[in-house]
Structure 1
Amino acid sequence: MFDHFAWSVVATPLLVLLGTWLSADRLRPDLAPRVFAWSAVVAALASTVNLVVFGLKALAQIPAVAAVGDWSADVVVADTAHVPWVPGLSLVWACAVAIAVGAQWWRRRRVLRAARAEVEWLEPRGDVVTVADERVEAFALPGTRGRPGRIVLTTGILDILDERQRVAVIAHERAHLAGDHHTLVWLTRVAATAHPVLWPVARKVAYLVERAADEAAAVELGDRRHVARAIGFAALAAARSGGVARSHGLPAALGAAPGVVPRRVSALMVPRERRRWTAVLPVLLAIGTVVWTFECVYDLHELLALASIR
C-alpha cells in the first residue's frame, strides 16, 4: 500500500505545485483560478483520504483492535513493515488536518457573520453598500441563501475616485461575486491547510481571481487601460491610507501582497491572450489521483480480508 502514500500524499501535491508554477499565467484568466483551485482541492482531498486509510491501518495493527475485527494484526503490520512509520504518521496527520480545517471553517464563519452584521442595516444602492470609513477599502461580501451578495465600499475610496474609476472598481468586485471567487479562494486555503505544500498554490489562486475580475471589468467597460489605471490608483491610495482592503479575508480589488498590483496592472496593459490547452494537465492529474485513491481504499479492504483468513 505504500505506493499510494508515495503518490497521493507526496508526489501529487508537488506536481500540482509544479504545474501551477509553470502554467498558471499561461491559462486564460477566467479559467485559471477554477482549474488550479480545484486541482489543489482534489489533490488535498486525495491526500487526506489516503492519510485516513493509513490511519485506519495503524489502528488495525493494534492487537486489541484486531481481536475485535477478527483479523491478524501481524498480517496488517507486514504490509508496511519496510516503512513502519507511515501508518502512525498518517494517523497523526489526519487528526491534525481535521482539527485545523475545523478551526479554519469556524473562523471564516465567524468573520463572515461579523462582516454581514456591519452592513446588513445599511441601505444598499443596487448591490453596492457604502460604509462611513476614512480608510480606502473595497471588497465583495458573498451572500447566503436568504441574502444577496454585496459590494462594500468605504467613503474613503469614494472620495478619491472619479466616476469612471468607481465604475471600474465596482465592476471588478461584481465579477468576484459573479465568479464565486470567495469560494475558490476559501477551498484552496482549506486544501493548503490539509497539505502545506499547496500554500503557494493558494496564494496563486488568490492572485488569479484578481486577474479574472480585472479582465471581467475590462470587458464590461471596454477599456483595459482605464481599468488598469483605476486599480493602480486605488491600490496606491489604499496603501497610503493604511487601509489596504484585506477586509474579512475576501477577494478585493485592492487586497494584494506587495508587488501583485503592479503585475495586474502590467497584464492589463497588453492584449488579452486566449489559451486553454494548459488546463488539460492539471485536470488529468486530478482524475488520476482520484482513481488511485479509490484503489487505496480498496487495497485496505483487501488487506483486512486477507488478514481475516486463518
Structure 2
Amino acid sequence: MFDHFVVSVVVCPVLVALAVRWLADRLRPEAAVTVLVLSMVTVSAACLVSLGAFAVKAVAEVHRVGVWLGYSDAVVRADTEREPWVSVLSATLLLVAVAGMFRVWRLHRRELTVAREFRGLPVDADRVTMIDDARVEAFAVPGPPGRVVVTTGMRSVLDDQQYSALLAHERAHLDSRHHTLVLYARLAAAVHPVFWGLTRRIDYLVERAADERAAEQLGDRRVVARAIGAAALRASEARLGLSMTPGRRDLRGAGVVPRRVASLLAPRSAARLLMLVAVPVALAAGSVVWTGECVADLGELLYAAGMLH
C-alpha cells in the first residue's frame, strides 16, 4: 500500500499545486478559477481518504486489537514492513488535517454570523444595502438573499460610472458564488500544506474574475480599472482593516491592486492555453482512481488477515 501513500499524499497534490501556480496567471480568471479550485479540492479529498485508510491500517496493526477481533495483525504489518512509519504518520496527518478543517469551518461560521447582521438591514431593488458610515468600504454578503453592502463613504468617492462598476464587481462575487470557492480552497489548504501558498492566488483569481465580469457587463474595462484604483486609494488613505471578503482584503494589497488594474487596461487576451486546465483535472481524476485502489487494497489486506470474513 505504500505506493498509494506516495501517489495520493505526495505526488498528486504537489503536481496539482505546481499546475495551479503556473496556470493562475496564464488563463482567463473567470474560466480557470472554478476548475483550479475543484482540482485542489478533489486531490485534497483523495488525500484525506488515503490518510484515513492508512489510519485504519495503523489501528489494525496493534496486536491487542488483532487479538480482540481475532485476526492476524502480523499480516497487516507485513504489508508495509519496509516502511513501518507510514501508518502512524498517516494517522497523525489525518488528525492534523481534520483539526485544520475544523478551524477553517469555525472561522467560516463566524463570518456567516457577521453576515447575518447585514441581512436585517433594508435592501433596494438592485440588491444594495447603503449604510451611513464615513469609512470607504463595500463588500458582498452571500445570501439568501445575497446583497452588496456599500458605505456612504465609499459612494462619495466614486462617480456614477465607477459606482456601477463597483456594484457589478460585487454582484459577480455573489452570482459566481466566489465565497464558496474561497472556502473550498481554504479547506483544501487545511488538508495539505502544499496548498497553503495558493489560497492568496485563489483570492486574487476570484477578484480578477469579478473584475472581468464587471467589465463585460459595463462594456468598459477602463471604468472598472478606475473604480478599483479610486476605491483602493481612498481605503488605503483611511487605513481600514477590511477582513470579511477577498475583495475587501485585496483593496489593501499594495501589489494586488496594480496587477488588477494593469490586467484590465491590457488588451483582452485570447483563450489560449485553456486546454491546459485538463492537466490539473486529469491529475485530480487520477488521484481519485488511485485512492479507490488504496481502499480496495486495504479491504483485501484485512480480508487476508482474517479481520473481514
Matches within 5 A, 1:40-59: 40-59=40-59
Residue of structure 1 aligned with 2:258, choices 254, 258, 262: 262
Matches within 5 A, 1:198-217: 198-217=195-214
Work out the CA distance in 2 between the residues paired with 1:252 and 1:125.
22
Work out the CA distance in 2 between the residues paired with 1:68 and 1:203.
49
- The answer to whether structure 1 residue 158 and structure 2 residue 155 are counterparts is yes
TM-superposed CA distance for 1:116, in Å, is: 1.8
Matches within 5 A, 1:73-92: 73-92=73-92
User: In structure 2, what is the equivalent of residue 124 of structure 1?
Assistant: 123
Work out the CA distance in 2 between the residues paired with 1:121 and 1:198.
36
Letter aligned with residue 169 of structure 1: L
| Greater shift in the superposed pair: 194-203 or 297-306 | 194-203
User: In structure 1, what is the equivalent of residue 228 of structure 2?
Assistant: 231
Letter aligned with residue 257 of structure 1: G
Work out the CA distance in 2 between the residues paired with 1:199 and 1:255.
21
Alignment CA distance shift 1:307-1:255 (3 Å): farther
Classify the secondary structure of the residue corresponding to 2:135.
coil
C-alpha contact 1:244 1:255 (8 A) present in aligned 2: no
Letter aligned with residue 227 of structure 1: V
Work out the CA distance in 2 between the residues paired with 1:72 and 1:255.
60
TM-superposed CA distance for 1:70, in Å, is: 2.6
- The answer to whether structure 1 residue 169 and structure 2 residue 166 are counterparts is yes
Letter aligned with residue 269 of structure 1: L
Work out the CA distance in 1 between the residues paired with 2:261 and 2:116.
30
Classify the secondary structure of the residue corresponding to 2:150.
strand
Deviations 1:12-51 (A, max 9, x none): 1111111012222222221111011111101111111111
User: In structure 1, what is the equivalent of residue 278 of structure 2?
Assistant: 280
**TM-score, with length taken from structure 1:** 0.94
Q: Say how many residue pairs are matched.
A: 305
Alignment CA distance shift 1:159-1:128 (3 Å): same
Deviations 1:69-126 (A, max 9, x none): 3321111111111111111111111112222212321221122112221x12321122
Work out the CA distance in 2 between the residues paired with 1:104 and 1:264.
27
Work out the CA distance in 1 between the residues paired with 2:73 and 2:292.
23
Alignment CA distance shift 1:254-1:99 (3 Å): closer
Work out the CA distance in 1 between the residues paired with 2:282 and 2:263.
28
**TM-score, with length taken from structure 2:** 0.94
User: In structure 2, what is the equivalent of residue 195 of structure 1?
Assistant: 192
Work out the CA distance in 1 between the residues paired with 2:94 and 2:60.
16
CA RMSD of aligned residues (A): 1.7
Letter aligned with residue 62 of structure 1: V
Letter aligned with residue 240 of structure 2: G
Work out the CA distance in 2 between the residues paired with 1:168 and 1:139.
13
| Greater shift in the superposed pair: 24-33 or 293-302 | 24-33
Percentage of identical aligned residues: 47
Letter aligned with residue 268 of structure 2: R
Residue ranges of structure 2 left out of the alignment (5+ in a row): none
Work out the CA distance in 2 between the residues paired with 1:2 and 1:134.
59
Work out the CA distance in 2 between the residues paired with 1:256 and 1:292.
42
Work out the CA distance in 2 between the residues paired with 1:87 and 1:222.
56
C-alpha contact 1:4 1:293 (8 A) present in aligned 2: yes
